[in-house]
Structure formats: C-alpha cells, structure tokens
Amino acid sequence: MKKFLYGCLIVLIAAALSVAANVALSSCDNPVLKTTPTVKTADVQLCLDSIVNPVLGSYSEALELQEELQTNAFIDSVFCSIPKETLKNVTSVVLKKLHYVTKDDIVSEFMTNRQIYDNLPPPDNASNATSSTSTTTITPTPIPGVVHEETTTVTEAPPTRVDNKPSGYKDTTINGKHALIQVQ
C-alpha cells in the first residue's frame, strides 16, 4: 500500500508542476518583444556605394584598387573564354576536389592545367564543321581481278594529338602534311 501512495504522490506532484509551468509560460504578464531593424536602408545604401565606388585616401590605395580590378577583369575574361565542353570538364574536376564551385576556383584550375584541357580530344558528337580536323576518304582504283572491300579514312592530325595517337591509326605524310590514317 505504501508503494501505491508514493506512486500517487509522485503523479500528483508532476501534475502540479506541469500546471504551474504552463501558467507561467502562457501568462499575459510577459510583454511581446518588438524587433526593430538596427540597420536602416540609408546605411545599407551607403555601404553598397562604398563598395562600388570606394573613397581613396592615397596613391597606394588607388594602385591597390587598380590591381584588384585588373585581377577581377582577368578572371572574368578567362572564365568567359573557356569553351563550354572544357568548362564542363573543369567544373567537374573542381567539384570532385572541393565539393563546391566558385568562379575563381574554376579559373585557377583551368589556368594551372591549361595544357591538359587544351589537348583533350573533342567530344564524340562534335561535328566536322566545328572540329579542327578534316576527314578525307581515299578509294583506291580497283585492279582487275582483285576484290577491294576495305576503305581507308585519312584524318589530318591536329598538332596536339600527333604524339598521343589513338589506337588503330598510323602516322603518314600526305601532300607534305602529317596525318593519321585509320584503316576500317
């Protein structure tokens, strides 16, 4: 019976504490806090104006600003000049390294490894009109009595792909130009 009385007493005390806490938290005596902005619109406008058109106090500050603007212009021009397929590749590499991408990171990666990105083969779906390679098909004159079923495709090799020729190609010189020949 003592255990039953102790259990009832504990439940009664818990209920009383719950009611007291509820009354204290929901009473009307607590004033509603009003929030007023601590920064006014004029202050924000003044801050933005100082970023766009800063006030310079010396010749050295003017030189620092000029250098910063030139660096930003260089980054913008390099970023805008990256071909779309290369931008896709560079962005992919930066995402794998850093898990996020910024314009500065893309330009830095591109400039650091520019020789690699410039020497990547064109995508498979690129048309011959946009490619720097030209394709010519040579059909040999048939010799009577001999069946010729094989055709040879001659592709003028771009200067960057000469050393890294794909499999199935042979080096040759046609009309004084270095070329790769693919036998099909």
Write the pLDDT tens digit of every residue in 22-62: 777 766 655 666 666 677 888 888 888 888 888 899 999 99
Beta bridge partners of 137: 153
What's the confidence (pLDDT) of residue 180? 58
Nearest to 75 by CA among 105, 45, 39, 42: 105
**Distance between CA atoms of 173 and 66, rounded to whole angstroms?**
52
Contacting residues for 128 by C-beta, under 8 A, at least 6 apart: 134, 135
CB atoms within 10 A of CB 119: 13
Give the CA angle between residues 135, 141, 146 to the nearest 5°: 125
What's the confidence (pLDDT) of residue 166? 55
**Helices 84-98 and 103-112, axial angle in degrees (round to 10):** 100
Structure tokens at 9: 């007493």
pLDDT one-digit tens code per residue, 85-135: 999 999 999 999 988 899 999 999 999 998 988 888 877 764 444 444 555
Mean pLDDT of the chain: 74
**Distance between CA atoms of 30 and 74, rounded to whole angstroms?**
58
What's the confidence (pLDDT) of residue 48? 87
Q: What is the domain partition of the chain in residue ranges?
A: 57-118, 135-140+150-183
What is the value of pTM for the model shown? 0.44
Q: What is the largest distance, in Å, between two alpha-carbon atoms of the chain?
A: 120
